[in-house]
A and B are shown apart, each in its own frame.
Chain A
Amino acid sequence: MTTPSRPSVTSPIPRTAGWGRAGWGLDRRATFWMLYLPPLFWLGAFFLIPLLLMFAYSFRANMSGDFFQLWQPSLNQYSKLFATGSYWRLLGVSTWMALMISIAAVVLSYPIAYFLAFHGRQRVGFYLVLLLVPFWTSYLLRVMAWKIMLGTEGVINSFLIYINVIQEPLTALLYNRNAVVLTLIYVWIPFATLPILAALQRIDVSLFEAAADLGARPIHQFLRITLPLSLPGVFAAFFMVFIPTVGEYVTPLLVGGSRGSMYGNIIQDFFTKAANWPFGSAMSMVMLFGTLVLVAVATRLINLRDLLE
């Protein structure tokens, strides 16, 4: 760090002289709380408390009785969930789909990030805007656009019929798991690009010069310098895609058809179509726990790697 040294707790410099006074006459601690409290309140009120409520609800026997009441904790929902093999299988399928989608999204966005970082030059800002243009429209619209692409009277089918490759429209394009995977990869690519780009931009260019001076060919430069140094961004991108995708439900609802449901759709059904919040909560808790375990294991592995290198 090249910033001026900050007064430490044991610093002999009087508090009043520190950066924390910031001209408002507030000491460091007050500044800290002032900046810390609003997000803490937000997270607490709209994330932690609902999550705790959901946790509590998952131990409720059924929906009858007052909404806010003390109830006898019951493992009813969990025992039903453990007894239903199809939900477990679907959680596995959803995790597998999320894994495939995250890997594909990262692999496809890496070249984009690479191009932006090393070949974008002064137009990098413009390219970034192009990458983010889809976000100016609604997520739903972008998913609906895939229906227009893949439908039986859609762009792909019409084109294939026009060039006489097929006579009858292909029905296998839309309303199945492949359509869900395809759409989600598309949706995530711009997101996945950003952390990789940030990691690539941090690489010191002199490293490449040194490598070239020492006779490394471009492919070796990439494998020995660029890729390892960009790995933190790659992993960040991977998890950014993976974690929300396990519980995804909007995309399967729109393009998945009868056989494309994911675990998140079943959770949503228990909340909105079954008025069975206790069971939906139990399903959510299992997914949350499963994802946390997976992420914990993965970060462990990655840290080990870093230690070895």
Chain B
Amino acid sequence: MNPKKPLHNLLAGMFLTLTLILSACGGAPADVPPGELTGTLSVLEWAGYDTEDFWIDFKNTYPNVTVSFEFGTSDADIYAKMAAGNQADVFHPYSGWLQFYVDEGLVEEIDTSKLTNWDKVSDSHKKLGQIDGKQYFIPWDIGFTSILYRTDKIPEGVESWAALLDPKYAGHISMWDDGPGAVTVSSYIHGYDETAITDEQLAAIKEEWIAQRDSNLFYWAGEPELQEGFRSGDVWAAYAWQGSYALLLGEGLPVAYANPKEGRNSWMGFYGIRKGTENLDLALKFLDAKLAEATGNNVVNLYYYGHPNQDVMSAVTDPLLLEAFGLNDPNILANTNFTPNLTAEQRDAWTSMWAEVKAAP
């Protein structure tokens, strides 16, 4: 009937052959054994997270793929770099800093059917990486924020976040250099709804932290700086993540990690894939390997952070780690506040508030 049909078939056949040849040359993901897969993947990371411990499964499975790292100094820095058109395939934001990537169209939705380790992640952790019901991020490193204190200097213990603003410890407090962090602490103390801070509340928070400045020795930006403050005995109480607690406790320093009556704060690190990356397949493989067991064990045992792979966490037996994660306390998660996502307006208002605290007379 159609005289053009044979030509059509021929063209289709040629196209198919060509596709097969091309895909064989280009390394079709499904057909090439992992060991022979080549390519380059770039990751926008935090300094120190480029260590092979943190991607050992990927390294071992795909030894011929080159992974290059570029670093951001903070969530804001990483976000600004991605917004400015950074070409990293994979990036590493933390709780609170996810929404804008979706709003500005910077992140690819993740096809979780391609992740072999996805089933090992608990639903509650999966949910934290979802925005508007879609899985844009995979959860990766998990930690607490609470008050770390020297038990020899504060023998009475710390029971509330208010200790960070207590003039009793003047000259020996160290707050994290971060506006949203300060808003979180004040919200816990005064029972504000962190997702709906009013202008009046923000003004009160500003005044509170301006007054706190006289008691605060220094704002810490990097954890080593804070840890050094504890070792030298200058810092007695600080806003801190549990990695610092586990490290200093391991060194034999008399420190404790408070269980404040308002609850600890909990945060999580995520990986996202840049929208429009040409390395989507490699990026998915990288994320999948991030969730694998050997990598997870390193996160937990070497760096004292939690990992979303439940097999990894249920295998933890080290009492020091159980203590740091609060794994032996059945109420710890019920008494923990997860960091909510910031909106762009909150981000601007809260960081400006903090800048004004630091600039205040």
Residues of A bordering B, CB below 8 Å: 62-65, 67-68, 80, 84, 86-87, 89-90, 151-153, 171, 175, 253, 256-259, 261, 263, 265-266, 269-277, 279
Q: Which of B175, B178, B348, B358 contacts A266 (CB 8 A)?
A: B358
The one of A67, A86, A270, A275 that contacts B85, using a Cβ cutoff of 8 Å? A67
Partner of B359, one of A175, A253, A266, A276: A266
B234 touches A273 (CB 8 A): no
**Residues in B whose Cβ lies below 8 Å from that of A279:** 352
| Known contacts A257-B217, A257-B218; A269/B233 CB under 8 A | no
Residues of B within 8 A of A276 (CB): 76, 347-348, 351-352
> A64, A89, A153, A273: which contacts B351 (Cβ < 8 A)?
A273
Scoring A153, A258, A261 by chain B CB atoms within 10 A of each residue's CB, the highest score goes to: A258
Known: A258-B217, A271-B80, A273-B177. 14 other contacts (CB 8 A): A62-B344, A63-B344, A64-B103, A80-B352, A84-B359, A175-B218, A257-B217, A258-B216, A273-B178, A274-B179, A275-B79, A275-B83, A276-B347, A276-B351
* Residue from B85, B233, B347 in contact with A274 in the complex, judged by beta carbons closer than 8 Å: B347
Q: List 23 A-B contacts (CB under 8 A).
A: A63-B80, A64-B344, A67-B84, A67-B85, A80-B352, A84-B356, A84-B359, A86-B359, A86-B360, A90-B359, A151-B234, A153-B232, A253-B221, A258-B214, A258-B217, A265-B358, A270-B351, A270-B355, A271-B80, A272-B76, A273-B178, A273-B179, A275-B77
CA distance A270 to B79 in the complex (A): 13
Contact A269 B356 (CB under 8 A): no
A152 near B355 (CB under 8 angstroms)? no
Chain A residues with CB under 8 A of B361: 86, 89
Task: For the complex formed, measure the closest distance between the CB of B37 and the CB atoms of chain A, giving whole angstroms.
Answer: 32
CB B212 to nearest CB in A, in angstroms, measures 8
- Convert B69-93 into 0s and 1s, putting 1 for each residue whose CB lies closer than 8 angstroms to a CB of A: 0000111110110011100000000
Shortest Cβ distance from residue A8 to the other chain B in the assembled complex, whole angstroms: 50
A87 touches B359 (CB 8 A): yes
Knowing A62-B344, A86-B360, the reply to whether A272 touches B77 (Cβ < 8 A) is yes
Interface size class of B (residues with CB under 8 A): 35 or more
In the bound complex, how far is the Cα of B67 from the Cα of A160, in angstroms? Answer: 53
B354: min CB distance to chain A, Å? 7
Contacts of A171 in B (CB 8 A): 171
Per-residue A-contact encoding for B309-351, CB less than 8 Å = 1, 0 else:
0000000000000000000000000000000000010011001
CB contact list, B33-70 vs A, under 8 A: none
Shortest distance between the CB of B81 and any CB in chain A (Å): 9
B83, B232, B233: the one contacting A67 at CB < 8 Å is B83
Least Cβ distance of B215 to chain A in Å? Answer: 9
Chain A residue, CB-CB nearest to B77? A272
B233 touches A152 (CB 8 A): yes
Question: Are B348 and A274 neighbours in the complex by a CB distance under 8 Å?
Answer: yes
Hey, which chain B residues are within 8 Å of A86, CB to CB? 356, 359-361
Taking A63-B344, A64-B104, A153-B233 as contacts, is the C-beta distance between A269 and B355 under 8 angstroms?
Answer: yes
CB neighbours (8 Å) of A80 from chain B are 352
